[in-house]
Amino acid sequence: MIALEKASHPLKGDIFVPGDKSISHRSIMFGALAEGTTEITGFLESADCISTIECFKKLGILIDHSIRPTNGVPTITVHGKGLNGLKATDSTLYTRNSGTTTRLMSGILAAQPFDSNITGDMSIEKRPMTRIITPLTKMGADISSVMGNGCAPLHINGGRKLHGISYRNQVASAQVKSCIILAGLYADGETVVYEPALSRNHTEIMLSSFGADIHNEIAADGSAAAILKPGMPLRGTKINVPGDISSAAYFIAAALMVPGSELLIRNVGVNKTRCGIITVLKQMGADITLLNYSDVGEARADILVKYSELHGGRDKKFEIGGKDIPTMIDELPMVAVLAATADCDTIIKDAAELKVKESDRIATVVENLEAMGCDITATDDGMIIHGGKPLHGADIKTHQDHRLAMSFAVAALGAEGTTRILDDSCVGISYPSFFKDLQSLL
């Protein structure tokens, strides 16, 4: 438990946030499947990403963690063994709280010549896995839910020949898309994944840098396809992981919330499929500027944020939905907190996916904002937030959800009285030093 008070002065200064979680996971996975070594700098050393390392070590991949003597930069070196170099393990692969590890690894394991089992903690065992079981089965894999409930633990019978498919996913999901694509690396024909909108495309960008024949196509209506032609070997490479926009979101919000604040958040990934929070907040009046922008590989920039009073349109309403949702799904709890302070009613819709995250983030965000005095209503696919009512301190139930813990720690900076974040240790899933970094600004 950690107790926080309302900020007593503006937040000023420069800050770096840890490496992008999605990119860190993929750098280990693709490095393991590549021929030769892959060097990774900026890797996120959080519980989720360590789970991915541990799983691949069990599968026979050598992964070193060292400090470069020339500049003192921590480096992860993955000694890849190629697409067919993984070895069977007698133990169940344990992914802790990581949905990314569970779903993406299932695509890889489905193509192996050996049997495997994969599961995670209690949260993972409640998250839907039918969304990957169905397409993998269509590809020829033999994968099943051990408990028969469509969730982990998953058992995968190896030795199955996979076939390329064209699969239409009803929800834009990078995890489902990536799972299918990774299985497609082993398939006997082209694999195409269609989505209603382009989900985060880190897999496509990084696999291309490893030598895979993969690209995206975007239709006029915004729907998207990821197209993979198998047969190209992956080659080890060097990866520099930018800061995670999901982690930067908390400091963006803190600067917008505390009067007089001005923060520069350096070297943050601003991939267009991930930075919907910046677009939406600017539409609400946020003073956010991207500096030193680079689009070589993964786009990145320094983000300058200044205190701003957020608002809606002329009717004092603001709506977030549609194709914006996949670009900011992990940031919606933080956006909801900001909306509580805005001079408008904010409607978040088309976000039913929030129900199957580490917690039911519709229910848990509403529960905690109500505890802080916000006028908020849950809907089937989001929430309606009547902003402008002062917040007050409360006991925040995190439900072991890291994004709730960090979002409401920021809420505390604008609330009267003391806010206590219960079960705060869950931030280690994605941002172990979060409270230390936040306290450095207070």
Task: Tell me how far CA of residue 161 lies from CA of 113, 177, 183, in angstroms.
Answer: 9, 20, 10
| Residue of 20, 244, 330, 401 marked active site | 330
Strands 191-195, 166-168: pairing is: parallel
Let me know if 84 is exposed, middle or buried by CB neighbors in 10 A (0-12, 13-18, 19+).
Answer: exposed
Which residue, 378, 375, 402, 403, is CA-closest to 391?
375
Residue 425 CB contacts under 8 Å (≥ 6 apart), including other chains: none
> How many CB atoms are closer than 10 A to CB 422?
15
Which residue, 156, 60, 152, 153, is CA-closest to 108?
156
Which residue, 363, 283, 355, is CA-closest to 320?
283
Catalytic residue check, 330: yes
Give catalytic residues, as residue numbers: 330
